[in-house]
Structure 1
């Protein structure tokens, strides 16, 4: 979805507010005020809060996957690239604004009532698992490895959001090292 500069500005504002406060807690008037646009202009850019949320989730997915790929691709070899996933998480968890995974948060808030949220959350998590599967294949690992590594990462995200510390990233990385040794060295 190609966004105009005005739409992108509104998506950025909505992303920040939804992430900080939750979707239900942010009204269209809050968005209008924070974006500095009229309500008429806001609805001209996005006719509904749902359409705006879909644009926010699409942007979140792209930004997250690009950041992950940049961190992973900087690693020197296939095994280290798999572990770099957890280094990426550690950096993310250390950000002052970290409040957990947007997709988990929005799914928890709206998943039962907004089918488009369910689709986006599942697609995001499927894309992450698919990305890990590609890294596992590059490392010569078995098919069962990627889902296990994904569960470690997902658990770390939730734990970090609730605990307010970055410890879960290191703990997940340490567990991933053990699983990688069993999968790649134990053949």
Structure 2
């Protein structure tokens, strides 16, 4: 089996197990069993569990942000695109096996002890914030709206992960709508 295929199998298994049960509770032997790779092959690909966690977070970032971007692109109206972020969050929260935000979860488990994991988490959150900033700019709204929209989305993720309901997305969407309805147009450059 070539390295790219083996890597994907390891990452598929890691994502299923790490997201489903938590990073600390899953050992490399479980990843080996779930992936069908030998332990030797797994360690050739990822010499340390931390490297596997970092790769899992990076790959999940690309998938997560790609799915969000596709959902937002379904709308032409720039303000509607901002609200679509919260619609997508509600859909994500309703998925079977939803366990909250993978990056917040990983940071809670390893952020204090793994600089590599903490960096991946910060990079994901910053990229999401930049995505929101672009949506705000495209809608001709003041850049200052980015921070509260980001906090609404992040708060919804945390609350949905804890409560196991989709309600936080709808509540955050309504708060975002109120912000958008009362926001002045951007003054431009």
Same fold (TM over 0.5): yes
- Aligned partner of 1:23 in structure 2 is 23
Give the Å deviation of 1:41. 1.2
1:96 equivalent in alignment to 2:96: yes
Q: Which runs of 5+ in 2 are unaligned?
A: none
1:180 aligns with 2:185: no
Contact 1:160–1:166 (CA under 8 A) maintained in structure 2: yes
Match of 2:84 in 1: 84
**Counterpart in the other structure of 2:135:** 135
TM-score (norm 1): 0.96
TM-score, length of structure 2 as denominator length: 0.95
1:139-175 CA distance string (max 9 Å, x none): 0110110111010000000000111110001000000
**In the TM superposition, what whole-angstrom CA distance separates every residue of 1:3-34 from its partner, at most 9, and x where no partner exists?**
71110110011011001111111011111111
Task: Give the equivalent residue in structure 2 for 1:37.
Answer: 37
Q: Counterpart of 1:75?
A: 75
Mapped partners of 1:183, 1:162: distance in 2: 31
Partner of 2:7: 7
2:154 corresponds to: 154
1:64-122, CA deviations, whole angstroms, 9 ceiling, x for partnerless residues? 11000000010121000000000110100000110000000000011000001111111
For the residue of structure 1 that corresponds to 2:143, the secondary structure is coil
> CA separation in 2, counterparts of 1:41 and 1:139?
49
5+ residue gaps, structure 1: none
Q: Deviations over 1:47-78 (max 9, x none)?
A: 11111111101101000110000000101210
d(CA) in 1 for partners of 2:56, 2:91: 22
Is contact 2:72-2:82 (8 Å) kept? yes
Name the CA distance, whole Å, in 1 between partners of 2:31 and 2:143: 44
